[in-house]
Copies of this chain bind each other. A is one copy, B any other.
Amino acid sequence: MKYKLVSDAVVKRLPKYRRYLKQLKENNVSRISSGELADKMNLTASQIRQDLNNFGGFGQQGYGYSVDNLHDEISNILGMNKEYSAVMVGCGRLGEALANFLKNYEPNIKIDAICDIRTDFHGKEVVGVKIMNKQEFDAYLDSNKADIAILTVPPETLSEVVELLTAHDIKGIWNFGLTDLEIKGVAVSNVHLSDSLQSLIYYINHPE
């Protein structure tokens, strides 16, 4: 299913909806109005209705949203109801932390191969996956399909790694490589950890 006119801002909010709805589910809330959901999420009720109307609505006038249903719908829209095979390139401290984070919190994204060029890392296991050298990783990609690549390599290695992955038809890249990637035909999330810290520092210096 295609939703042609959905803005990046809406797509960025979908995981947040999913998180809040999951929390409501865990607290045994079965139904919520857009007003209540808006209060929880620091949005306006009209913004929530607009956001969800991009995907067909889901609410009933005067009756609100079914929490279970809306959670599942948003998971479906995101594609989080499916499993993905991921590979990780670069597995220092951050890579290891991310691998464990996914294993604990997003088990539908399964890391099936890990590569690091540092020889002292080879053979070591992270989340039960043995770290490969470049040659082993090339061979892995030749005979396995990977959906998502998680990159924690330094900026100077990034282009070489991207070349290898795109040659193997990777669909998405979760990029912690500090340099923004933009690749035709490949979905990319460029993550800059310190952006949220810098915004925090702004608010420390400019309290409301």
Contacts and interface: CB of A to CB of B under 8 A. Distances in A.
A144 to B, nearest CB: 17
Contacts of A172: 200-201, 203-204
A193 interface: yes
A94 B84 CA distance: 23
A26 to B, nearest CB: 11
A12 to B, nearest CB: 6
A113 B124 CA distance: 30
Interface in A156-208: 171-174, 178, 185, 187-189, 191-207
Closest 7 CB pairs of A and B: A187-B203, A79-B205, A15-B198, A93-B97, A15-B195, A189-B200, A94-B97
Interface string A81-112: 01010000000111011101110011001000
Given A12-B195, A199-B12, A206 B3 contact: yes
A106 B199 CA distance: 13
Contact of A202 (B11, B93, B193, B198): B11
B14 A199 contact: yes
A11 B80 CA distance: 29
Chain copies in the assembled complex:
2
Interface string A11-26: 1101110110000000
Interface of A: 1-3, 6, 11-12, 14-16, 18-19, 77-80, 82, 84, 92-94, 96-98, 100-102, 105-106, 109, 147-148, 171-174, 178, 185, 187-189, 191-207
A18 B178 CA distance: 13
Nearest to A198: B15
Nearest to A193: B101
Nearest to A170: B204
B199 A15 contact: yes
Nearest to A99: B93
A148 B205 CA distance: 12
